[in-house]
Structure 1
């Protein structure tokens, strides 16, 4: 179930969320789901209990659930977020050779090779379409309070690979003037391993200049 709201950075957006949550504990159904995590990541801070009682109660419940499920990982205030870019559609395999083929002649080695390559490409395309996806919420911690968090996020988003899509982000205070980057990402399960992403990309140069460690806060199948 895809649930969307108007700009949650504004009072009108939070008001629409509050109205939606009237008589409900969660965004979808009667338990915490990826919809709650996605909307939670887009809310600036806990809504006022006086102005938006439903949204405020929901925000507190989600924060408590995440903290209980992942002890030691703080949840808190949000800064700006950017919309995740639309995922590109799988490339269509186009056969440009059909018009040139001699249907009644003997198949050449070159034609056999081309046919095998087309079959392999079609098989790979089908596999990608059938592959599952996951939504991940990750905490990325800097070395200290002097770390440039803007450059840290830029370095993280420069990590690009097939099957990886970066989404909304926010800075969360962790104490002593230090903030961590909390960021959403979507992965194609067969193409991207979150553990490998952390070990081989986010905690090695050049990201290691800014990144001390990474933690998975939430991992949900889509």
Structure 2
């Protein structure tokens, strides 16, 4: 799909999304997927009547996220994070090519045997080095009140840097009584970053706690 995070919030980006969603319920099919969560996090607000397909899709994704966590329409508390992840199907490991080990013309020489042994050792060593998984997270960050400086709040959030943490698109979402929350995407390397620890030890303590009242996990998907 041509729509990317860099242009989805523009009129041309929304038009592309609207055209892509013609005749579709969701981006990847008939069910909500991580692709929908990523694009939803980048769209600043409901596209409106000018983009009928995108507007219906936006409302549908919002409804799905809310219904996934009954009684917590504005997100899932940190304690529920363990139940939130949607496990992706494990990737299939590529089958090794053993053709190089075959001697098509006769007996193996000592050099051939040694080369074959070296290849086997290399294969075993590489099989032990499995790349760490990644996850895409949609986070709600709530201010103390309607007087909280949301620009400073987002700056405080993005100031947190650690190996395996990558901040993505964000938007302000009205909560009520003039209060807005920050909804922000982030990608983490699972072995390096714990979302619970990020919230409890970084986002909700000083100096970030000057602006942040609480953080909720809205969606957590394996990549």
**TM-score normalized by structure 1?**
0.71
Deviations along 1:32-73, one digit per CA (max 9) or x if unpaired, are 111101111222321233x32211111111011011113434
Q: Quick one: structure 1 residues 4 and 138, their matched pair in 2 at CA, closer, same or farther if it must change by over 3 Å? A: farther
Partner SS state of residue 130, structure 1: coil
Partner SS state of residue 31, structure 2: coil
Find runs of 4+ consecutive structure 1 residues off by over 4 angstroms.
none
Structure 1: give runs of 5+ residues left out of the alignment: 76-122
Displacement of 1:133 in angstroms is 0.1
Structure 2: give runs of 5+ residues left out of the alignment: 76-124
**Match for residue 30 of structure 1?**
30
**Match for residue 195 of structure 1?**
196
**TM-score normalized by structure 2?**
0.71
Deviations along 1:146-202, one digit per CA (max 9) or x if unpaired, are 111111111111111000001111111111111111100000001100001011101
Q: Distance in 1 between matches of 2:184 and 2:43?
A: 13
Q: Distance in 1 between matches of 2:48 and 2:200?
A: 40
Q: Distance in 1 between matches of 2:33 and 2:137?
A: 12
The structure whose RCO (Cα within 8 Å, separation 6+) is larger is 2
**Match for residue 58 of structure 1?**
57
Partner SS state of residue 15, structure 1: helix
Contact 1:132–1:221 at 8 Å: present in 2 too?
Answer: yes
Matches within 5 A, 1:87-102: none
Contact 1:73–1:217 at 8 Å: present in 2 too?
Answer: no
Alignment coverage as a number of residue pairs: 169
**Match for residue 139 of structure 2?**
138
Displacement of 1:4 in angstroms is 4.6
Question: How big is the alpha-carbon RMSD for the aligned residues of Structure 1 and Structure 2?
Answer: 1.8
